[in-house]
Amino acid sequence: MTAFRRLPLDGLNTAEVAAIRALPASRLPRTAEDAWTTSDVAFAWTQSQKLPFLPLNEQRVDRDAYALYWRHCREYGWLPTFASDDVSTVISAHPHRPQMRREVGKLLRCEAYWSGCTQNDFDRTLAALGAPSSQQSLPPPVVIPAAWVLEMQPEAPDPYRGGVIEVLQTAYRLGASDVFFEDEGPRIGVRCRLSGVAEVFPPIRGRNKSTFMGALKRMAAVSPNERFMFHDARFSVDFPDGTRIDIRAAFAPTLVGETVGLRLQDSKKMVASNMKVPLPPDLLEQFQESLNKKGGMTLVTGPTGSGKTTTLYAALLSLDRADLVIRTAEDPVEYTLPGISQVPVGGDTGRTFGQALRSFLRLNPDVILVGEIRDEETALLALEAGLTGHTVLSTLHAADCTETVTRYMQMVKSTDIRGALASAMGLILSQRLAPRLCAACREESAPSEQERILFGKFGATCPPVLYRRRGCPECGTGIRGRIPVLEQMVLSSRLKDIIRAPGHFDSQTFRRQWLTEGGKPMGRAALELAAAGAIEIKEAKRHMVWVPEAP
């Protein structure tokens, strides 16, 4: 009986094999295909995927990242040449192995760019690096379980608390921003928002349903027996590894039970990371100028979940908190910031934004952050604060910058505030978050005629190719995080004159003047991201609040 012979390209999928065999002979190893070594396969695969194949030595390796991941590197056969929170570059003698790419992708949890090298170079480099002196080890990659075990702790004060922590810790380690529990009768559905997309997780079976929900409510200091009421809560959770996170919880009754939404927040991680305002250099300079002025208002607008509060927190962290007196009024306080006095309002506190602002005006701080302008009283007091020399930062639910001015005027119906608004308003930033395409697997597509016309309406050049999501072992869904889509308006003297003009406020005239002065609408910013391959064109269309008429 003839023994089975494994061919060099066995293990690659059909598309990869076809791409390798379609390469010209000049980009393939010189030996026959059936005699290829592992290094030959790695070279051919990188050529077919348009990835680099590089010489490797220990000087190329990111030593800090290797010290953290070295056990994993030796087990799976890869080395980091650069590592950060957003992107990493990785080299291996067998980058064509999908299992290895999948495991490294789970570990790094960021955009990874692969390159290949020979097996001899890799072995020699790994031997030269050795084991780091710190002997750091990394916990295993996070894997979503096929079913929740929900181990109970009979000796604990609350035996079922461990099951809740098991689910929350898995979601947190995967980078989830929100966790949703939905009573579906025989089970509890679980979904986690990852990179802005709600992903379905294994459900919690019926036998654990009541104990799980009861433990979650006790952690949130909500009575397990109150199942037909709306509840908002805030609590902290300590994971077994020592991590503590803050959680905002909302409970609501449904037809068959309850639904729960949890927002996971890690204030220590955010402050320790020295988070920056997520703006490109040109917009960031304008934003910082407005922030550093004595007096005036800076508004950040957008729909729910667009990162408005996070941007304002980053702005506060960028200020010199030693020389400035900063007060915030928030409903609720989402992150605890050092050097800043934060006042919770709303909910069960018995305090309103208006009461907090009146108190702040008497305390005379340098900077005031108002969590949200949502009523006439808060809008008037924020204007007064901006006019009396306080730098005011706040958020507002509005579609874009022009709509922000219109909505502010509509919010205050008792008096004409246009003069005060023109004097106090300094800068408006409107932002949204769009799913970022995975650079490793995104697919090219030719733009349609309608898409070419759309680019032309915004005065932008349509690229020869656009990109769409595909999905690969490194990302799973074709999405790697989110990217902000921004529109920023600095109110010039001419724009302020239009606001002050008597009669009905003409938003179209206001917008045309802003565009004449060089303003970039959100729709054009979204198209530029699509042209650069950062987002899909259909995502760009979703963020077009205003579209100009055809030229």
The token pair that represents 218 in the structure block: 């006790």
Q: What is the pLDDT of residues 444-456, one digit of tens each?
A: 899 999 999 999 9
Report the SS3 class of residue 89.
strand
pLDDT over 80 at 497, yes or no: yes
268 neighbors 244 (Cβ within 8 angstroms): yes
Top-confidence residue, 350 or 531: 531
Any idea which architecture 14-129 has in CATH?
2-Layer Sandwich (3.30)
Q: Write down the pLDDT at residue 329.
A: 92
Average pLDDT for 462-473: 83
The C-alpha atoms of residue 165 and residue 102 are separated, in whole angstroms, by 26
Q: Write down the pLDDT at residue 174.
A: 79
Give which of 323, 182, 192, 200 is closest to 256, Cα–Cα.
182
Q: What is the pLDDT of residues 508-524, one digit of tens each?
A: 999 999 999 999 999 99
Q: What is the mean pLDDT of the chain?
A: 85
Q: Write down the pLDDT at residue 521.
A: 94
Q: What are the extents of the domains in the chain?
A: 14-129, 161-265, 274-435+482-519
Long-range contacts of 37-42 (CB under 8 A, 24+ apart): 37/8, 37/119, 38/93, 38/94, 38/119, 39/93, 39/117, 39/118, 39/119, 39/120, 40/8, 41/8, 41/9, 41/94, 41/96, 42/92, 42/93, 42/94, 42/95, 42/96, 42/116, 42/117, 42/118
Q: How far is CA 35 from CA 15, 123, 237, 508, in A?
A: 21, 21, 57, 70
Asked, colleague to colleague, whether 14-129 and 161-265 share their fold, the answer is: no
pLDDT over 50 at 378, yes or no: yes
Q: Which of 130-144, 195-209, 346-360 has the highest mean pLDDT?
A: 346-360
Q: Indicate the CATH number for domain 161-265.
A: 3.30.450.90
- Helix, strand, coil abundance in the chain, percent, nearest 5: 35, 20, 40
pLDDT over 60 at 51, yes or no: yes
459 neighbors 524 (Cβ within 8 angstroms): yes
pLDDT band, very low/low/confident/very high, at 274 (cuts 50, 70, 90): low
295 neighbors 427 (Cβ within 8 angstroms): no
pLDDT band, very low/low/confident/very high, at 7 (cuts 50, 70, 90): low
pLDDT over 80 at 79, yes or no: yes
DSSP state at residue 485: E
Q: What is the pLDDT of residues 315-330, one digit of tens each?
A: 888 887 778 999 999 8
Preceding amide of 186 cis, omega within 30: no
Per the CATH hierarchy, to which homologous superfamily does domain 274-435+482-519 belong?
A: P-loop containing nucleotide triphosphate hydrolases (3.40.50.300)
pLDDT over 80 at 146, yes or no: no
The C-alpha atoms of residue 486 and residue 543 are separated, in whole angstroms, by 10
529 neighbors 441 (Cβ within 8 angstroms): no
Beta strand 178-183 with 258-265 is antiparallel
pLDDT over 50 at 1, yes or no: no
Q: What is the pLDDT of residues 406-450, one digit of tens each?
A: 999 989 887 788 999 999 999 999 999 898 888 878 888 999 999
429 neighbors 488 (Cβ within 8 angstroms): yes
Q: What is the pLDDT of residues 211-238, one digit of tens each?
A: 899 999 999 999 888 888 898 888 889 8
